[in-house]
């Protein structure tokens, strides 16, 4: 799916609206089919209907549990990765003190520029093309940081081997900072396969159709249960979708992002 289209769909709650209308339509179709079957074939509600309905709703509950659990796990993982990146950035920044005093200002400015680029990724929903541009800029600044740190370490006299060994500790910190950013970038692309979403929607529509059919056979609408079922299903699936895309929907990682913003202001 095109990134702009995905962001538009999530921001404007198109999925919730489509699901709501679709389930209402399926209930109505099931109601009419049930009444028609009742009139033409003298159909009646039998135990088999309860069995089919239990099977469909049981499968629906299973798929919801799987998708919700996966989305929640990925959300927690993304949050942990942000905190991990903040830790590595802080370690790299403090490690600059290990270098010669004349080399420190340049590295501090480069690191500030690096953090600003990382914050652009966190600010708003962003298409993959824009992320790729920022990623390329981050790579370029990262190379400058690495080369500056490596040069500073190598410039330390070989006679001061202990000092050189201490200064070299900044290099693993910088590498860890780069790795944390790459982990973040890959985590933002991890989502369940489209087939899982298709199955979830199919089961929601099938459950609505069967529920409407049974009410049609019984010739008795239960508006309360119908409304509660549809609203709860739409709310649950919408929540799962928002958790799965925390940069696009109502659910976000702003509180965690603020930690990096506060760190950037403090340096």
pLDDT (tens digit per residue) in 10-60? 777 788 899 999 999 999 999 998 888 877 766 555 555 677 788 888 999
- Which stretches of the chain score pLDDT less than 70? 1-7, 41-49, 123-129, 157-163, 249
Q: Which two tokens stand for residue 226?
A: 């119908």
Other Cβ atoms within 10 Å of 19 Cβ, number = 23
Helix ranges, the chain (H): 3-11, 14-41, 47-95, 104-123, 128-154, 161-167, 170-187, 194-218, 223-244, 254-266
Q: Does pTM surpass 0.85? A: no
Where along the chain do its domains lie?
3-266
């Amino acid at each position: 799916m095109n990134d702009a289209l995905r962001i538009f769909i999530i921001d404007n709650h198109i999925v919730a609206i489509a699901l709501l209308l679709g389930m209402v339509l399926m209930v109505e179709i099931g109601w009419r089919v049930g009444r028609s079957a009742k009139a033409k074939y003298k159909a009646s509600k039998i135990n088999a209907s309860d069995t089919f309905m239990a099977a469909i709703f049981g499968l629906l509950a299973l798929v919801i549990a799987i998708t919700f659990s996966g989305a929640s796990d990925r959300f927690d993982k993304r949050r942990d990765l942000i905190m991990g990146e903040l830790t590595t950035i802080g370690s790299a920044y403090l490690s600059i003190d290990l270098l010669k005093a004349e080399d420190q200002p340049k590295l501090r400015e480069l690191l500030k520029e690096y953090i600003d680029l990382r914050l652009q990724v966190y600010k708003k929903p962003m298409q993959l093309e824009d992320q790729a541009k920022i990623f390329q800029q981050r790579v370029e600044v990262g190379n400058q940081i690495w080369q500056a740190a490596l040069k500073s370490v190598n410039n330390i006299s070989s006679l001061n081997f202990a000092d050189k060994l201490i200064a070299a500790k900044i290099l693993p910190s910088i590498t860890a900072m780069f790795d944390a950013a790459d982990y973040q970038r890959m985590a933002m692309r991890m989502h369940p396969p489209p087939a899982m979403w298709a199955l979830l929607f199919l089961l929601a529509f099938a459950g609505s159709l069967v529920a409407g059919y049974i009410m049609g056979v019984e010739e008795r609408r239960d508006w309360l249960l119908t409304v509660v079922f549809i609203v709860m299903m739409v709310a649950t699936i919408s929540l799962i979708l928002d958790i799965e895309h925390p940069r696009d929907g109502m659910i976000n990682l702003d509180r965690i992002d603020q930690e990096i913003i506060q760190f950037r202001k403090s340096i």
